[in-house]
Amino acid sequence: MNTTNHYDVNGKPYHRGLMLALSLFATFAAALMQTSLGTALPRLMTVFDINLSTAQQATTWFILASAIMVPISSFLIKKFSVNQLSIMAYICLALGVAISAFTPAQHDMWLLFVFGRIIAALAVGVMMPLLQIIIVNIYDAQERGTAMGLMGLVVGMAPALGPTLTGWILDQNHVIFGLTISNSWRTIFYLPLAVIVIAVVLSPFLIKDVIKKEDVSLDWLSLVLSSVGFGLFLLGFTNVSSDGWGDLATVVSPIMGGVLLIGLLVWRQLRLEDPFLDVRVFKSKRFTLTTLAMVLSTMAMMGVEMMLPTYLQNVHGLSALDSGLTLLPGALLMGLFSPIAGKLYEKAGIQRLTIAGFSILAIGTIPFAFIDISTTTLTIVVMYALRMIGIALVLMPLTTEAMAALPIEKATDGTAVNNTARQVASSVGTAILTSITQNVINQNEPAKHLKTLNPLKYADQYLNASMDGFRVAFIVGLGFAICGLILAFWLKSHSQRVTDGEGAA
């Protein structure tokens, strides 16, 4: 890709390769914050003297805050210049990470720690769509696949690396190039903070205004409906793993209330001349089909990705670090294949690539439907790595295809809708597989009195019940992949659209 002789909206030359590199650099550090605390919860419980449910607030509120910001990103990207919004997002992220990193380790300071996580999450919710819209605007359709493949490093690889990196940090002190990396929980935040500070310093020089600002006004009612609606909806699905589907107060009510408010949001957007979130992008069949396929790939990825560490720790008895290391090869291969997928998208087209990707994903998931206690860790490493190759071949190419389905002036709205769909799919997929696992375990677990009468028999039967739960959950994950494969046959590559008389978007 040619990275010189490009001009921003003010007619000033800029180096788009350096601009993309800095945006990827900063967003990668932000994405690490999404999953990095999962492995650190036991340490945080000790230093802050809190229980598990309280510690999980750090993750729950991060997910909710970042998800709420994604729909709002469309308005922000139109209202502010790319340079302004990037700098604001980076400073917000640095502030949030710093608050959590330097929070005194005292029980009564825990809320300050969570507040820092929320501030960081607000930035993350904007940075992901912003990176996507930058790519759409600085690369044309022929080059966009490769650039979006690089974005796949951020979307897929960084969250997968988060738990492993945290486990490595907490395991012991490390010496790299003569520098000692402390195993303090604060180090989890120091490393991304250093990256973000560098991004803040370089942004005024490398991040240029590649999108014209629009004179848009904020529809406050839409903002409230979006924030509260998506917040309640995702909160309900987040609570499923701990409270089950039947809990009226924490699961059913939030989900139903969220659906109602989101419905009102959609109704209002269709009646606004300048909508807060333009859902009319779904009028494009091509955009709708590719977004739905992307949702299925996200559910297949995140659902199994969140279940495997639990399986490895509960069944195989691995530590948090070892379970993270087991999944590391898959994360690395996804990072390796994401740019390759971008090149393949440009050459082979979306249909053939998506069929191949979902087929590989399904083949890699089938063995998980038959796992038992004797399944080796090596088998899991190989099959998980195969799954992640399949994910890499479909996730960002589908996103690229969805953006190509819309005219450039609708790219901002399409990006916000696409990223919102990905956030919702991630939460829903995880909730479905987690709840299925727990329900199967509850139905098959041995009687409580057996725990006292024959502890060994109880442990053996409970382990078998757990295996049944994991197997059923993985079968559902396989179902997501098969549905995606079926849908792939409905997608059309550029040459097919031209043949059918549809032309290019």
Least Cα distance to 31 among 107, 108, 132, 145 occurs for 132
Backbone angles phi, psi at 175, to 5 degrees: -115, 120
Structure confidence at residue 102 (pLDDT): 95
The span from the CA of 66 to the CA of 76, in Å, is 14
Structure confidence at residue 261 (pLDDT): 95
Structure confidence at residue 435 (pLDDT): 80
The span from the CA of 133 to the CA of 78, in Å, is 11
Q: What residues contact residue 191 under an 8 Å CB cut-off, 6+ apart?
A: 169
DSSP label at 499? H
Least Cα distance to 167 among 384, 313, 386 occurs for 313
Least Cα distance to 365 among 454, 290, 277, 300 occurs for 300
Structure confidence at residue 3 (pLDDT): 46
**Read out DSSP for 450-488?**
HHHH-HHHHHHHHHHHHHHHHHHHHHHHHHHHHHHHHHH
Q: Which residues of the chain have pLDDT under 50?
A: 3, 498-499, 501, 503-505
The span from the CA of 129 to the CA of 420, in Å, is 9
Query: What fold characterizes domain 281-505?
Result: Growth Hormone; Chain: A; (1.20.1250)
Structure confidence at residue 126 (pLDDT): 93
Structure confidence at residue 498 (pLDDT): 46
CATH superfamily of 1-213: MFS general substrate transporter like domains (1.20.1250.20)
How many CB atoms lie under 10 A from the CB of residue 313? 14
The span from the CA of 395 to the CA of 334, in Å, is 10
